[in-house]
Amino acid sequence: MTGALSRNRVLQFIVGTAGVAILWQIASLFFPDYLFPSIPQIVTRFVEIATTASTQVDVLTTAARILAGLVGAFLCGVVLALVLNKSRAVEAYLTPVLVLLQGIPALSWVVIAVIWFHGTEFRIFFIMLVTTLPAFTFQILDAVRSMSKDLFEMTIAFRPTRWTLFRVLVLPTVVPGILTAWKVNIGNASRVVVVAELVGATGGVGYELLRQQQLFDMAGALAWTLQLVAFVLVFQGLVSAIEAWALRWRPKSERAI
């Protein structure tokens, strides 16, 4: 049943994407290349970027920036979530601050980071951190709070050490929430990193997009964008594979498709 649903989704994705590509190809017959380049042009540029070492460095640089920002935000989010879970008073004061941070646009953080900091990499890391931290914190906090009181009491009755309690109960309880948080935040982070790279970076997908805009090269802009999309899809696929393995105990009807 789940397999059939999954196959259906893949089929729907392929049909939808192919439909857009056909419409785009038709439009390319009536408009100049700088507005609607043909699909073969875009594909050629995509393959060029993917197979040329110097351009792959840009893609990998962006990927590394995304992962560094996410790892930083995740670790800070874990600490913050544990503090919030421990103290209702801290939660009462800190939650509005995190909500406020969530409301600030990524572009505003770019401006703030440029004014505050010198190093390009640190600026981008800072932007990635502050934009993904609130979501990570709230999602990890939810995961911690979803722990069953019944299972906690049952485990405590065996009198485990703190480490054993963490290993046998806390970790398996929070894993589904954490994996979901990663899947959601990777998409957000890929959008933010491009904005961050547009300003001040001397490499990466965002920087290359800015160059394509200056050259009026739509095929290049789309090819670079697709590189980032491909990275996000691969990473999300990896997280989904980990999720499928870690949550293999769930009944098939409850598993993510």
Partner 1 sequence: MPAAPDPVVITFEDVTKRFERPDGSGVFTAVDRLSFRVTRGEIVAVLGKTGCGKSTIFNLIAGLAEPTSGRIAVDGQDPFGAFAALRGKIGIVFQGDRLMPWRTALDNVLLGFEILGVERGRARKIAQDWLARLGLAGHENDYPHALSGGMRQRVSIARALSVDPTLILCDEPFSALDEMTARRLRAEFLRLVRDSAKTALFVTHSIDEALEVGDRIMVLQRPARIAFEAKVGGEIAPDRKAMLRSEIMKVLAGDDQSDGGVD
Position 153 contacts partner 1 (CB under 8 A): yes
- Cα gap 69→47, rounded to integer Å: 27
Position 157 contacts partner 1 (CB under 8 A): yes
What is the nearest approach in angstroms of partner 1 to the Cβ of residue 242?
14
Residue selected from 54, 150, 214, 245 as contacting partner 1 according to rule CB under 8 A? 150
Reduced DSSP (H G I as helix, E B as strand, rest coil) percent helix, strand, coil of the chain, to 5: 85, 0, 15
> How many chain residues are in contact with partner 1, going by CB under 8 A?
18
Position 156 contacts partner 1 (CB under 8 A): yes
Residue selected from 72, 160, 187, 203 as contacting partner 1 according to rule CB under 8 A? 160
What is the nearest approach in angstroms of partner 1 to the Cβ of residue 157?
5
Name the phi and psi angles at 158, rounded to 5: -85, -5
Position 88 contacts partner 1 (CB under 8 A): no
- Cα gap 195→188, rounded to integer Å: 11
For residues 99 to 138, the per-residue mask of contacts with partner 1, x marking binding by CB under 8 A and - elsewhere, is: ----------------------------------------
Q: Among 99, 103, 86, which Cα is nearest to 141's?
A: 86
Q: Which residues contact 202 (CB under 8 A, 6 or more apart)?
A: 120
Q: Are 134 and 188 in contact (CB under 8 A)?
A: no
Complex with partner 1: residue 51 or 253, whichever CB lies closer: 253
For residues 229 to 248, the per-residue mask of contacts with partner 1, x marking binding by CB under 8 A and - elsewhere, is: ------------------x-
- C-alpha to C-alpha distances, 56 to 40, 64, 95, 124, nearest whole angstrom: 20, 12, 40, 19
C-alpha 11, offset from chain centre: 24
Position 9 contacts partner 1 (CB under 8 A): no
Footprint on this chain of partner 1 (rule: CB under 8 A):
150-151, 153-160, 164, 168-169, 172, 247, 249-251
